Structure 1
Amino acid sequence: MKIVRTVAETRAARAPLGRLGFVPTMGALHDGHMSLIGLARDGCDAVAASIFVNPTQFGPNEDLARYPRPIEADLAKLEAAGVELVFLPTVEIVYPAGFDTRIEVGAIAERLEGAVRPGHFSGVATVVSKLFNIVQPDVAWFGQKDVQQTRVVRQMVRDLDMPVDVRVGPTLREADGLAMSSRNVYLSATDRAQAVALYRGLSAAEAAWAGGQRDAAALRSLIAAQIAATTGVVDYISIAETNTLEELELVPPAGAVISLAVRYGATRLIDNLVLSAR
């Protein structure tokens, strides 16, 4: 496994690798990340990953300073998984002195996470575009847990004619249903036990929809009831069109995306579930 830290090193190391699969991460790797590494191997000659905690996607009162950075453990996991190339830049490499360009993605980035975290997706789109330009992958994998992020990246790639095939891997969950996340380590034991309410709410709504319930407000109420039984504070509960993420009043038989963001103490968790016709 080759570790590279500069743009020139990365491009030189990437050149002989052939068809390249890529998994961009912010580190603190868990089984969800590693599942994407496995998927990136499919149809590719080599796999690259990046570890970079991107400051431009954090708001002023968010957890940039305390975001977990177990770099040695992360590198060991990537090496054990057979990753050929790891891009490990500093902030100064990604955003050198005088850097003054940002990407604005538009309407799909203004909803849900974008409404609660202004500027977040501009930071995401900007750093992902830089990573794509530096690493030059053929295929890039993102996790379904960050469903809006996958839509934002796909919109950017389409609109800017980037030669990258963006693919999405399924959300991996703990045994009780909690979506795997680097931020789960922040949860107290009490909050961790209660946080399973997110998945219970999503599952209750899915079951009701499968049983014929089409009223989005009724489905949201099922989810809200699960969260209300805990100390969780809801940022949003959304039932939206699958691609545009526009809110729905009635959920069509073809399906929708249910997504939510809930705070337990200082920890903010997101999750989602795609309703789809069987």
Structure 2
Amino acid sequence: MIDNPKVALVTGAAQGIGRGIVHCLLERNWRVVLFDIDEAAGQQYLEQLAEGRAATFIAGDVANEADVRRCLEQTLEWGGRLDALVNNAGLADPHSGPVEELALADWQRRLDVNLTGPFLMAKHAVPALRATRGAIVNISSTRAWQSEPQCESYAASKGGVVALTHALAMSLGPDVRVNSISPGWIDVRAQQADAPDNLKPLPDNAHAQHPAGRVGKAEDIGSLAAYLASSEAAFITGQDFIVDGGMTRKMIYN
């Protein structure tokens, strides 16, 4: 029997950080709806979850308003309520090539998924979240705060997520809390649908460059997302939490 009747909806749940978030929520006895455009990966992950876990999968695109509306309807049909929305879905590869060669369609698709997606999910989830005094957790990136070359569309979309977070927090409070998480380097190879059984470990220098002593794991983000979604974080809203092993605080000289 599930001790906690609360329901969370996680976008981009089929792979990567999304799987880590789902895992941490299930460990805390949430009921979880997995929403992802990749139906094969989503169904595969659902089958991998331990028997008795209260989870279901819905296929769809966060950038398609009809899909989003349908997702919220099916979520409420399945769970009867909604207590937390975790906007994790995104096009993950930050590199889009030289800005002078960046096609408008590629720029727009990145913004559609990474930024418009969280807006649409929030728009249609708010009535249900207000009813439960729930929470929204948006997944941004440290690239909202610092950049490498040729990452304009990704950085712009993730910077927009941080701004959307504090704007929503002001608009929806005190009924709904809204926070974001900006992950740094998170090793999600084991959380991919096509992950091999014998993953090679990352090189020592990958871990050593982090002040925390290692590269991040999906569960590092998942545990914080679960906390921010819970009533334990009742006094936290409008904030962005950088989870990067200390890298954005590190002075680097050549």
Give your verdict on TM over 0.5.
Answer: no
Shorter-chain TM-score: what band? 0.3 to 0.5
With structure 1 as the length reference, what TM-score do the two structures score? 0.38
Answer with 1 or 2: which has the greater Rg. Answer: 1
With structure 2 as the length reference, what TM-score do the two structures score? 0.41
Larger RCO (CA under 8 A, 6+ residues apart): 2
Please identify which structure carries the higher helix content. 2
Please identify which structure carries the higher strand content. 1
